[in-house]
Amino acid sequence: MLDFSEHPHRRLNLLTGEWVLVSPHRAKRPWQGKTEEAAIAQRPSYDPHCYLCPGNTRAGGEQNPAYEGTYVFTNDFAALKPDGPTDRVEDGLLRAGGEPGICRVLCFSPDHSLTLPDMTVDAIEQVVKLWRSEYRELGSKDFINHVQIFENKGAIMGCSNPHPHGQIWAQYSVPEEVGRKSARQKKYWQECGRSLLSDYLKQELESGERIVCANDTFVALVPFWAVWPYEAMIIPRRHITDIDQFTREEQRGFAEILKDLTQRFDRVFDTSFPYSSGIHQRPTDGNDHPWWHTHMAFYPPLLRSATVKKFMVGYELFANPQRDITAEMAASTLRRLG
């Protein structure tokens, strides 16, 4: 009999159709291996050299207002431009196409010293409100068919500025990852008449093995198919296709569980836990996409200490992802740190 805690096995990602190899016998406990004390960086509430702090001049030459809450602006060095063509080019086997879009930077707080888990629930709720309004505004544009909200936290994730902020890339086409999730959710909806994540969440709640924390409106868990050591996902209990459908209670609940989960991350290795996080929700191409169930994923890279990072190398680059720490083990660790 297959024992998830003992035997090498593969797990299917329900949302993408991809597989991950799990090798639990290689690391029975997430605390094995080298551990180090991380240097605790003390940052000021205001940094005169930070291009995101209130009143400062940005790298592109524009001056920030003296904002006191959240603040959003169009990225001065955007990867996408709104006035680009959408022409498709075919040259033998080569294919290409223009990709217009809009890139925005969202400052979560005027306080340079904070990160999301350090902020109050009230302040995080203002971030959620900003995400909702930006999704609504950008998604209403004719040439925008997908709105990707994300945050890179920590220098190890390539974040060039420690000021609390995230980004939005809104674009003409639907990206590959979102396309795969759309197809899998649509297929399940057509076959079962229910949301794939609703049924998955029901099964996870019955098991409890991979649940990290929960409130009346949201559940945070380590997905069965997790690739990153302490990967997590936040799923609304109610089947909703995008964050603009949040009720007032859900907006507050989302802010509460964001703080709860990210604080647990910080306690794993007693450090400001780096991660990439992103919200996936229905495309904004004018269709309803009733099969979509919005969710937020967190991909933290830390493996066994505040400085030991998991890299995707070797087999993972040439075959498929692999992990030693099981999803159940990671969830158990995060639950204890509440």
Across the range 319-333, mean pLDDT stands at: 95
| Separation CA 250–CA 267 (nearest Å) | 26
High-pLDDT (> 70) share of the chain, %:
96
Q: What is the mean pLDDT of the chain?
A: 94
Its pTM stands at 0.95
| Separation CA 193–CA 221 (nearest Å) | 24
High-pLDDT (> 90) share of the chain, %:
88
The pLDDT score that the predictor gives to residue 33 is 43
pLDDT tens for 150-163 read 999 998 888 889 99
pLDDT tens for 218-245 read 999 999 999 999 999 999 999 999 999 9
| Residue 171 · residue 6 · CB < 8 Å | no
What is the amino acid identity at position 13?
N
Q: What token pair was written down for 123?
A: 């302040």
Angle at 332 between CA 331 and CA 336, to 5 degrees: 115
User: Of 165, 239, 293, 295, which is the active-site residue?
Assistant: 165
Q: Which of 37-41, 113-117, 138-142, 333-337 has the lowest mean pLDDT?
A: 37-41
Distances from the Cα of 279 to the Cαs of 131, 217, 282, 293, in angstroms?
Answer: 10, 16, 10, 11
pLDDT(32) > 70: no
pLDDT(34) > 60: no
Which residues are 167's β-sheet partners?
105, 150
Domains in the chain with CATH codes: 41-336 (3.30.428.10)
- The phi, psi pair for 187, rounded to 5°, reads -60, -45
In 3D space, the residue among 250, 225, 228 whose CA is nearest the CA of residue 239 turns out to be 250
pLDDT(181) > 60: yes
Angle at 278 between CA 283 and CA 29, to 5 degrees: 135
Does the annotation count 165 as an active-site position?
Answer: yes
Three-state DSSP class for residue 136: helix
Given pLDDT bands bounded at 50, 70 and 90, which one contains residue 26? confident
Reported residue count of the chain is: 338
The pLDDT score that the predictor gives to residue 157 is 87
pLDDT(279) > 80: yes
